[in-house]
Amino acid sequence: MATNEDQLKKVIAHAKEYGFVFQSSEIYDGLSAIYDYAQNGSELKNNIKEYWWTAMVRMNENIVGIDSAIFMHPTTWKASGHVDAFNDPLIDNKDSKKRYRADVLIEEFIGKIEAKIDKEVKKGIKRFGDDFDVKQFKATNPNVLRNQEKIKAISDPFKEAMSLEDLEGVRQLIIDLEIACPVSGSKNWTDVRQFNLMFGTELGSVAGDAAKIYLRPETAQGIFVNYLNVQKTGRMKIPFGIAQIGKAFRNEIVARQFIFRMREFEQMEMQFFVKPGTEMEWYNHWKDARIKWHKSLGLGEDAYRFHDHIKMAHYANAATDIEFKFPMGFKELEGIHSRTDFDLKAHEEHSGKKLKYFDNEENKSYVPYVVETSIGLDRMFLAILSNALHEEKLEDGSERLVLKIPAPLAPVKVAVFPLTKKDGLPDKARDIIDELKIDYNCQYEEKDNIGKRYRRQDAIGTPYCLTVDHQSIENNTVTIRDRDTMKQDRVAIADLSKIIGEKVNLRNLLR
């Protein structure tokens, strides 16, 4: 079986070879943690967006969508806390000149000890099979216990230093644990410094400090500052939501793991405005609704877990992550946060404008509380792609690479092949495409034998391949081949749209 790292490498290679994701500016050796979506990737990405937008905006009468600008007034980021507190602790190795996130160095160190525990557990499972009691083993095995104590001895002071922003304490832990730079192997570290993750630039027409503006690090603030405009012009009544999909930018220090952590990425966020005191009810509602949305994709019930935050961000009174089982392990895919009235109150203070909602039923004004759902589009893309990639051994001994992308999200829905390039078969194939292409993204292929064409379509996840042969000319039928079962049936051309729709329509996921 492929190791996790191998699996991620395979996904990256596949994404490049089959036109999903390219390194940005590759001819100039690329730009770290910046990626371009290629022909199949952008189709997949658009389909994910559509799935999200339909589920959030179209299917909820009380949620509307907006598209706010990337640049915002600089005071926005003062109010939101990003200017003062959107920092990562970083440390440089003096020999390699490489820069690391100090907290990540320590987390990775802990991760290695955790891996040792996992290895012990796996050994036990291998030896004793189904009878093996993992819980009891972890509670009694001396090696496991020793490693658990080691983890505690590191994570307790680590958490304390992080919560007190004790940067010297964090550095001391790196020194005490004798963590070495993976590049130079040296333990020659600088001090730990706070590093702001926002990208700054200047506005053209103003000089000096006033000109400094930021590329937004999250889309949420564009919603907060517009909430009253939307509420009034849309005659929205609380509770209501505002959704948006858009780019966000963060100058991430540790930018590895492909599109999991990028410097330019896309978020799909929804801020739900509620009456103060009802926020926990809505927080639970959105936790439920969002996990259902994920699970409808059929990527596996055990591919998700909630990770509730114990230590909350300054603006939240409840927060959880939906974590997904990526090739690198369980990692955050989406955050659900009860943000209280922190943001709106802060914008009131900094702008001097009232941001209160008048509640007709209660006959009073208040600043609403906000529950937000925030998902990274690129992480969602990686979740789908990494889950979809399968190498299968076929009955005849050959192998195939297949992307089992949920059919409604597949970049190409139907590929149409004329069996040969003669006898009017290409024209017939094109006629079929002309009929189908309004509803479904189609591809025409006539090169190579049918088997090879199937392989190419499997590798990009096309749910259906149609072959036009001589019988098609005689009786208006084609063979339709299913990506997953590889079964072929002969069907009437007139029925194609309906048959294909049954599987690839977004309705199947949304219902």
Is position 342 an interface residue for ligand ATP (rule: CB under 6 A)? no
Is position 41 an interface residue for ligand ATP (rule: CB under 6 A)? no
Q: How far is CA 402 from CA 44, 275, 359, 388, 408, in A?
A: 15, 48, 54, 8, 16
Task: Compare residues 340 and 441 and give the one whose CB is closer to ligand ATP.
Answer: 340
Least separation in angstroms between residue 242's CB and ligand ATP is 16
Q: By CB under 6 A, which span of 61-69, 129-137, 370-378, 474-482 interacts with ligand ATP?
A: 370-378
Is position 411 an interface residue for ligand ATP (rule: CB under 6 A)? no
Least separation in angstroms between residue 378's CB and ligand ATP is 5
Least separation in angstroms between residue 179's CB and ligand ATP is 21
Task: Compare residues 35 and 273 and give the one whose CB is closer to ligand ATP.
Answer: 35
Q: By CB under 6 A, which span of 75-83, 371-379, 393-401, 480-488 interacts with ligand ATP?
A: 371-379
Residue 286 host element (H or E): helix 279-295
Q: Of 408, 457, 348, nearest to 43 (Cα)?
A: 408
Least separation in angstroms between residue 55's CB and ligand ATP is 17
Q: By CB under 6 A, which span of 15-23, 329-337, 448-456, 460-468 interacts with ligand ATP?
A: 329-337
Least separation in angstroms between residue 24's CB and ligand ATP is 14
Q: Of 305, 329, 473, 486, nearest to 392 (Cα)?
A: 486
Is position 82 an interface residue for ligand ATP (rule: CB under 6 A)? no
Task: Compare residues 334 and 343 and give the one whose CB is closer to ligand ATP.
Answer: 334
Type of residue at 406? P
Is position 333 an interface residue for ligand ATP (rule: CB under 6 A)? yes
State the binding string over 258-297 for ligand ATP (x if CB under 6 A, else -).
---xx--x-x------------------------------
CA-CA distance, 275 to 368, in Å (whole number)?
A: 5
Is position 376 an interface residue for ligand ATP (rule: CB under 6 A)? yes
Residue-wise DSSP of 427-466 = HHHHHHHHHHTTTS-EEE--SS-HHHHHHHHHHHT-SEEE
Is position 379 an interface residue for ligand ATP (rule: CB under 6 A)? yes
Residue 497 host element (H or E): helix 496-504
Is position 250 an interface residue for ligand ATP (rule: CB under 6 A)? yes
Binding ligand ATP (rule: CB under 6 A), the pick from 252, 348, 435, 439 is 252
For residue 395 the two structure tokens come to 């009955």
Q: By CB under 6 A, which span of 108-116, 353-361, 369-377, 422-430 interacts with ligand ATP?
A: 369-377
Give the per-residue SS3 of 62-101.
CEEECCCCCECCCHHHHHCCHHHHCEEEEEEECCCCCEEE
Is position 477 an interface residue for ligand ATP (rule: CB under 6 A)? no
Contact 479, 464 (CB under 8 A): no
Is position 215 an interface residue for ligand ATP (rule: CB under 6 A)? no
Residue keyed to tokens 């591919």? 303
Is position 318 an interface residue for ligand ATP (rule: CB under 6 A)? no
Is position 465 an interface residue for ligand ATP (rule: CB under 6 A)? no
Task: Compare residues 261 and 413 and give the one whose CB is closer to ligand ATP.
Answer: 261
Is position 378 an interface residue for ligand ATP (rule: CB under 6 A)? yes
Task: Compare residues 265 and 440 and give the one whose CB is closer to ligand ATP.
Answer: 265
Residues 6+ apart with CB under 8 A from 256: 33
CA-CA distance, 401 to 14, in Å (whole number)?
A: 9
Contact 186, 93 (CB under 8 A): yes
Task: Compare residues 250 and 481 and give the one whose CB is closer to ligand ATP.
Answer: 250
**Bridge-partner residues for 22, per DSSP?**
36
CA-CA distance, 435 to 423, in Å (whole number)?
A: 21
Q: Are strands 200-202 and 464-468 parallel, antiparallel or unpaired?
A: unpaired
Q: Are strands 369-376 and 329-340 parallel, antiparallel or unpaired?
A: antiparallel
**Dihedrals phi, psi of 414, to nearest 5 degrees:** -140, 130
Number of residues forming the site for ligand ATP (CB under 6 A): 16
| Start-to-end CA span in the chain (Å) | 36
State the binding string over 216-245 for ligand ATP (x if CB under 6 A, else -).
--x---------------------------
Task: Compare residues 373 and 441 and give the one whose CB is closer to ligand ATP.
Answer: 373
**Which residues are at the interface with ligand ATP (CB under 6 A)?**
218, 250, 252, 261-262, 265, 267, 332-335, 374-376, 378-379
